[in-house]
Structure 1
Amino acid sequence: MESAAYHRPMLMNSLLAWSLAAFSLLLLVAYEGRLYWIGRHHPERTARYANVRLRMKWVTAMSSQPGFEVVAVQALRNTLMSATISASTAALAVMGSVTLAGGSLAGKFTVGAPDEQLHAVLQAMLVMTLFASYVCSAMAMRHYGHASFIMSMPVSSPERVTFTPAAVTHVHRAGLLYSWGLRLFLMAAPLVAGIVHPAAMPVVTVLLLVALHFFDQPALLDVE
């Protein structure tokens, strides 16, 4: 009887911790789902659409001005360096997370208490999120590199005219992947908070969503 009374508060605390973590993840999913819906039906209200349009017009403008090849490549090199920094930071964070938690994850998943299992789940999600951030940033580097080769061709050359649509695609994909790499890296914050204490996870999630709300607002609403 005493043992059951002792374990009951522990079970309730575990259920509360799992509920807080699930609620935080649902908030993130709901926000991204709403943003996806807005992007499908009202794309002009999202920064993603405005930035895509800007990048496409930039490639078109640079492809019609002879003598600006070096300027275009330098601009792409700057964005390439930004993606490189993001990828390197995410890779270091992945290695640090695996070093700190990798050896104990398997044991916590199988024989750990509910609290330890939640801790292991959040650690595993943190590693996967950081790795996904690295992959997105690395792929953005790849597309920026391909775009640099095309944008360095002389504007008057027939090869440049042939490959300009490919440059538009590469720059478009690179921008989206870089954005997702940064976004996933920011989403690691609630997971870190949940690992420290489950009660902190919803608070950090709400703060992150507020930041993402301003992050997703288009800067140019009246530009056609």
Structure 2
Amino acid sequence: MSNATTWLAAFLTVAALLVYEGTLLLVQQRHPARLAHADLREQWLSALSDHPGSEVLAVQTLRNSLMAATMTASTAALGLMGAVTLAAPSLNSTFGDASSMHFTARLALELVLMMLLFSSLVCSAMAARYYNHAGFICSMPVHSQARQRWAPIGGV
């Protein structure tokens, strides 16, 4: 495969990813799923807060969400470690010898893959942190003053 063909394939791969992400942004502006989900969480917390004894249900529901976010973060971390392991020889040969630095299509795709896996890891870790905090809020007694104070944050 020629160098131009390799770069074209790399460019098309990144372009397909950008088109996909751009389409998601446009669709979400018309019907923002993230906002609908945030509204659902707020209504869920309000409904649970009206019923004493529902703390266990709330904590179990959030525990399930926390486990899903943890699994996603673990998968992204494993993928990132694998990508770094596979890319290490290319990175070492490219950046190890300053006299022969050349930026190849393979190196570009490896860097993009590592960036995407790292951002996935960060987002999943932040989701796990959020669900952990929401679990603390939902486990407070329903009519306690502390829960009333923290409830708006738990539903967001």
TM-score by length of 2: 0.85
CA distance in 2, matches of 1:78, 1:38: 28
- Match in the other structure for 1:167: 154
Identity %: 46
Give the partner amino acid of 2:18: V
C-alpha distance 31-97 of structure 1, shift in aligned 2 (>3 A): closer
Structure 1 residue 163: Cα displacement: 0.7
- Match in the other structure for 1:19: 8
CA distance in 1, matches of 2:28, 2:85: 39
CA distance in 1, matches of 2:46, 2:18: 35
CA distance in 1, matches of 2:4, 2:38: 43
Map 1:176-187 to 2 at 5 A. Answer: none
CA distance in 1, matches of 2:128, 2:93: 37
C-alpha distance 51-166 of structure 1, shift in aligned 2 (>3 A): closer
**Which runs of no fewer than 5 residues in structure 1 stay unpaired?**
1-9, 170-224
Structure 1 residue 23: Cα displacement: 2.2
Q: Which structure has more RCO (C-alpha within 8 Å, separation ≥ 6)?
A: 2
- Match in the other structure for 2:120: 133
C-alpha distance 97-27 of structure 1, shift in aligned 2 (>3 A): closer
CA distance in 2, matches of 1:127, 1:112: 20
- Match in the other structure for 2:56: 70
Map 1:1-224 to 2 at 5 A. Answer: 13-40=2-29, 42-43=30-31, 46-108=32-94, 111=100, 117-169=104-156
Structure 1 residue 48: Cα displacement: 3.5
Contact 2:42–2:155, Cα closer than 8 Å, also in 1 = yes
Contact 2:38–2:155, Cα closer than 8 Å, also in 1 = no
**Which runs of no fewer than 5 residues in structure 2 stay unpaired?**
none
Give the partner amino acid of 1:128: M
Give the partner amino acid of 1:149: F
Contact 1:39–1:49, Cα closer than 8 Å, also in 2 = no
Contact 1:86–1:134, Cα closer than 8 Å, also in 2 = yes
Corresponding residue SS for 1:65? coil
- Cα RMSD for the two superposed structures: 2.1
- Match in the other structure for 1:219: none
Structure 1 residue 85: Cα displacement: 1.0
Structure 1 residue 129: Cα displacement: 1.3
Deviations 1:145-173 (A, max 9, x none): 1111111011111111111001012xxxx
Task: Detail structure 1 runs of 4+ shifted over 6 Å in the superposition.
Answer: none
CA distance in 1, matches of 2:152, 2:88: 44
Structure 1 residue 34: Cα displacement: 2.8
